[in-house]
Structure 1
Amino acid sequence: MTLRARLAGLATRRVFGPEASWLQPVISRALPGIGLVLATSLAAAALGLAPPWLTKQLIDKGLVAGDAQALWLYAGAMFAVGLAALGSGVVNSLLHLRFSAAMLADLRGRMLGAVLGQAAARPLPQVGEAMARLDGDTAEIQRFAFDGLLAAAGSVFRLAGGAAMLFALEWRLALLAVAATPLNLAFLAWARPRTQARAEEVRAGRGALSSWLVETLAGLPTLRSLGAEAARADAFAPLQAGQIALLIRQRRWLELTGAVPQVVNAALRSAVLVAGGLMVIAGTWPLGSLIAFIAYLGMMTGPLQNLLGLYHAQAQAQVALARLSALAKADAAEPGGRAPAPGPGALRFVAARGQGGRHLPLDLTIRAGARVLLDGPSGIGKSTLAALAARLAAPAPGARVFLDGEDVAGLDPAALRRAVAVVPQAPALFCGTLAENLRLSDPAATDAELWQALDDAGLADLLRQRGQGLAMPIAEAGRNLSGGERQRIALARALLLPFRVLVLDESLSEVDAPTAAAILSAILARHPGRTILVIAHAGPARALAFDQAVMLAPDPALRSSRGEAPNQREKARENAV
């Protein structure tokens, strides 16, 4: 292990605790930047220690002694030190911005990777809550980890330097000045748990509010169709009021915890000023020394407050850390495995049922190249069962699925999902161009390959008529497209995968029947040896020449207390078939 890695590990454990081991690589990468910023910060701090001492010399050796040459000398020195401090401050500020922003980007990338790498069957937080963690909580950790380490090191340096100057000027008054530290520490130790509790309330409220907003914006078409915009807007006011109340409660507490140490320090400064003033009046201490002492004492107040404040800031950072750790913990990651061995696309289901499935466990063998209809009442678990083949759903205990003789539980999920392509009823499209959305499946696909996939999905002619082509813009969630167009783009995207098995899960439910029939014919003609698994309640997909039709039967053990089988009533369009 390198020295930087050891330092990062030590800093992570001391600042955040052993449960934050996932944060160590981020801290390690940030250490060189922190070191450079710290060096410039300490240089500025060292320059900041000089002015009070130069002021003392200017007063005692220049003004009081009546020495004009000394006056010019120390005034010039103060001006030069001020310029140097200004320059080092500018450099420090620019370096701080650069490296702290880099650390925040690294931390957000780490958390986004953790979210994207989570097991498909593991439920994620609500979108708004996840956004609050990826944005707000990462910023909280970055501020404390980067700024906190700098503030701690800089404050210790300033305190040590200031204390040395105080003891050099008058050791008895210096002892009086540092007497506030144990009092402040005792108060903040008492207040810290309450600070953490209030931070938890505010963070949770912020996540709930963010989730509410995301849901509202995503559901705007539904709200409009119901004429419920005003009702939804009215519900926003109580949520905001609750969040504001939490923020005010937290702010009152923080102001209190900040005010108590300030009052204690102010009382001790007053005592120092009176005692030092009496010494000046008695002629036992020069006036310049008193002025310098008060200046150094004032310079130490800020660093001392920083160190005491960091004790409370750590409590707030621990709240953010706990929320991020829930996303980053190792057992949430998608378990890896080996790449699937080459094969023709045969499937075997053994006692198969997804978690929450309502059907009897299924034993089924599907030969390579077969066309299979998976049928059954709505909600019985057809989609979940098919998703087990791509590890996109959690299996019930004892359920196993094999692809060409290999248990999918031991296969690399990314490679598996390129072999078993699942096209859902409600696919996700992303802001960007049509080509960018299609190349999510194959970044190296040529334009000709994209057009071929679009042609198979029944979109190529339509796009050529519109004159937009592959550069056609796609709005957020594909809102500028019809439901059928979104489904066909998702189908074209899946056709770019090197799949052995294609799962069509109501994938053409919003496409008119003639077009859907033509699309299915094109797919079967272009991919004659691929295994096709179809879930469809109605339409041309049910009219294919299937090699197998599998009807999922309700599990009698899951009947309700009234003796009714779950999902007994089918959708109207199922009844029409």
Structure 2
Amino acid sequence: MLGTLVRLIGRFIKPYWGLLTVVLVLQLIATVMSLYLPTLNARIIDEGVVTGDTNFIWGTGGIMLALSAVQGLAQVGAVWAGANAAMQFGRDVRAAVFDRALGFSTRELNKFGAPSLITRNTNDVLQVQQLVLMISTVLISAPITMVGGVVMALREDVGLSWTILAAVMLLGAGIAVLIYLMSPLFSIQQTRIDTLNRVLREQITGIRVVRAFVREPHEAQRFEKANGELVDTATRVGRLMAFMFPFVGFVMNISTVGVMWFGAFRIENGDLQIGQLTAFLSYLAQILISVMMTTMLLVLAPRAAVCADRIDAVLKTESTVAPPANPAPTPQARGEVVFDRVSFRYPGAEEPVLKDLTFELKPGRKTAIIGSTGSGKTTLTNLIPRLFDATEGRVLVDGVDVRDFNPDDLWARVGLVPQKPYLFTGTIASNLRYGRPDATPEELWHAITVAQARDFVEEKEGQLESPISQGGTNVSGGQRQRLAIARALVKKPSVYVFDDSFSALDVATDARLRAALEPETARASVLVVAQRVSTITDADEILVLEHGEIVGRGTHSELLATNETYQEIVSSQLSAEEAAA
């Protein structure tokens, strides 16, 4: 784990070596000043006070004040530069994790889970960032202070040097035990933060379901359990951390008593002066504080190492839909889509979801897909914009395999309206411009009109500038669907994919919308996935899916006459008169 931590820090801290060099220089200046001050203090006591030389006291005291001012300024500058480097390091790591997650396919997103990705990009990065801050402000100065403090203490009196060795060994051994006990707890703590985020996200997202089934007590217990487990782990870590400071204080105090006890005998024998003893005590305190700060850094390191492993797991994961190394030349956007013997199997699944599918989408034609729940309709639509890659066969868009497309070129050709439409925080206008930022207000109103959304948009106080909350939760399901359709229309793609995008509309609105869509999509390929037969009766070709296979294809009337599966679907939804029509 520590190896991963070192590699991660080394990878992202490189651009800030200049700032770290400034930190090193300033910390060196501050440390030299702090190491020299006790010696001057000893000289005042032993040479100035004893002899009564007031001029010497004032002169040496003035030098001490000047050195203290330099020390303070150097420390402020070092902390500023170190904090600046650490904050920019954290920013770069968060950006890298976000960029990698943004390129993940649904497979990788499901592998990590949204709560875990959020935790890794916030809490985990914060832990490593704090370690970098400690390294830049503590690790650089602590070794210099320890080594310099030992040298300066030995200059004052070699006979008491064994007390420094004993104190450092006692302090190091005690803190090493604490680190050993805390290390496994850090890994558990990060996992439990993931669990708490997952439970909380589920409950907030599904609050209406929770209330509808009166499951508030059950969900409260789930949250209480996850929260309690996290608190329990954090408390155990906190107790060990809390024990550290009294222990350090005990070692420092017992060391001070020891130095004063044995130093008194050396003063009595004439081997040591009072000022030298005072300086020795100051150096001992500096050495032990440096040891404590270094060990504090070592305490943070195990947790940061766990977090670095989790961050590294994201950064090392390659998307299964990675862009091609050598994209094919961009063909003219015609809107032709070909499924050539396509099969798809989810990782670990015993059976493929889609089996040997072959069909075409052509410009100016509307193709519909219908089938029972779980027949693979949504999976099929996800293969066109390459949200998944087919495990067998090829999906061609305008004659080019989607795996050979530059992703931006491919996505520019496809207007996808997903089964669960999602709107982003912002305004109606910002959501509609998601696919085309340069769309004019006139184009937005035109798309809204075609999508049968003009009535409720005009009723809103801000109209196009009306606010939309995260996920579109401040509009109804039907309004959300119509805005998602308008968003696809604004994009003006050559391939439209409507994945059960009319399910929240009443029959009359559905009919008006389909009629308005026809001239808008006349030159594009249109794929409509539907559960409702009335939505697809006018399709040029209907594909009937059953267990991932095409068990029927043709027009509504042809399938109604020849396909048993389609007949069952129709009979379950339409009366005989409606079916004949």
Q: TM-score range by the shorter chain?
A: 0.7 to 0.9
Q: Deviations over 1:147-196 (max 9, x none)?
A: 22432111112122212211221234235413554565566666655432
**Alignment correspondent of 1:387:** 382
Instruction: Please list, as runs of the form range in 1=range in 2, the aligned pairs for 1:491-530 lying within 5 A after superposition.
Output: 491-530=485-524
* d(CA) in 2 for partners of 1:401, 1:506: 21
Q: CA deviation at 1:96?
A: 4.2
Q: Which moved more, 1:200-209 or 1:118-127?
A: 118-127
Query: Are 2:454 and 1:460 aligned?
Result: yes
**Alignment correspondent of 2:368:** 373
* d(CA) in 2 for partners of 1:295, 1:145: 28
**Alignment correspondent of 2:335:** 345
* d(CA) in 2 for partners of 1:391, 1:570: 32
Work out which of the residue numbers 477, 484, 488 in structure 1 matches 2:482. 488
> Aligned in 2, Cα 1:574/1:164: closer, same or farther, shift over 3 Å?
farther
Work out which of the residue numbers 90, 93, 108 in structure 2 matches 1:104. 90
CA contact (8 A) 2:363 2:522 kept: no
SS at match of 1:481: coil
Q: Which runs of 5+ in 2 are unaligned?
A: 347-351, 550-564, 575-581
* d(CA) in 1 for partners of 2:23, 2:568: 64
Q: CA deviation at 1:285?
A: 0.8
> Aligned in 2, Cα 1:294/1:186: closer, same or farther, shift over 3 Å?
closer
Query: Are 2:546 and 1:553 aligned?
Result: yes
SS at match of 1:360: strand
Q: Which runs of 5+ in 1 are unaligned?
A: 1-14, 557-567
Query: Are 2:466 and 1:472 aligned?
Result: yes
Instruction: Please list, as runs of the form range in 1=range in 2, the aligned pairs for 1:26-175 lying within 5 A after superposition.
Output: 26-122=12-108, 123-175=110-162
Instruction: Please list, as runs of the form range in 1=range in 2, the aligned pairs for 1:9-408 lying within 5 A after superposition.
Output: 16-17=2-3, 21=7, 24-122=10-108, 123-181=110-168, 192=179, 194-255=181-242, 267-332=254-319, 334-337=321-324, 338=327, 340-356=330-346, 357-395=352-390, 397-408=391-402
Q: Deviations over 1:489-532 (max 9, x none)?
A: 11122223352211100112112222222222332202312110
Q: Deviations over 1:422-442 (max 9, x none)?
A: 211212111111222222212
**Alignment correspondent of 2:428:** 434
* d(CA) in 2 for partners of 1:473, 1:522: 26
CA contact (8 A) 1:352 1:385 kept: no
Query: Are 2:417 and 1:419 aligned?
Result: no
* d(CA) in 2 for partners of 1:49, 1:569: 88
> Aligned in 2, Cα 1:332/1:257: closer, same or farther, shift over 3 Å?
farther
Q: Which moved more, 1:520-529 or 1:222-231?
A: 222-231
Counterpart residue type for residue 215 of structure 1: E
> Aligned in 2, Cα 1:297/1:239: closer, same or farther, shift over 3 Å?
same
Q: CA deviation at 1:16?
A: 4.6
* d(CA) in 1 for partners of 2:309, 2:283: 39
* d(CA) in 2 for partners of 1:569, 1:233: 45
> Aligned in 2, Cα 1:215/1:20: closer, same or farther, shift over 3 Å?
farther
**How many pairs were matched up?**
550
Q: CA deviation at 1:359?
A: 4.8
Counterpart residue type for residue 165 of structure 2: V
**Alignment correspondent of 1:563:** none
> Aligned in 2, Cα 1:448/1:399: closer, same or farther, shift over 3 Å?
same
CA contact (8 A) 1:346 1:366 kept: yes
* d(CA) in 2 for partners of 1:184, 1:86: 28
Q: What percent of counterpart residues are identical? A: 25
CA contact (8 A) 2:149 2:286 kept: yes
Q: Deviations over 1:32-88 (max 9, x none)?
A: 333334433333333322331221121111112211112222233333333333344
SS at match of 2:340: strand
* d(CA) in 2 for partners of 1:259, 1:350: 72
With the length of structure 2 as denominator, give the TM-score of the two structures: 0.86
With the length of structure 1 as denominator, give the TM-score of the two structures: 0.87
CA contact (8 A) 1:334 1:413 kept: no
CA contact (8 A) 1:141 1:317 kept: yes
Counterpart residue type for residue 410 of structure 1: D
> Aligned in 2, Cα 1:35/1:435: closer, same or farther, shift over 3 Å?
farther
Q: Deviations over 1:181-222 (max 9, x none)?
A: 456556666665543211001111111112111221112222
CA contact (8 A) 2:368 2:527 kept: yes
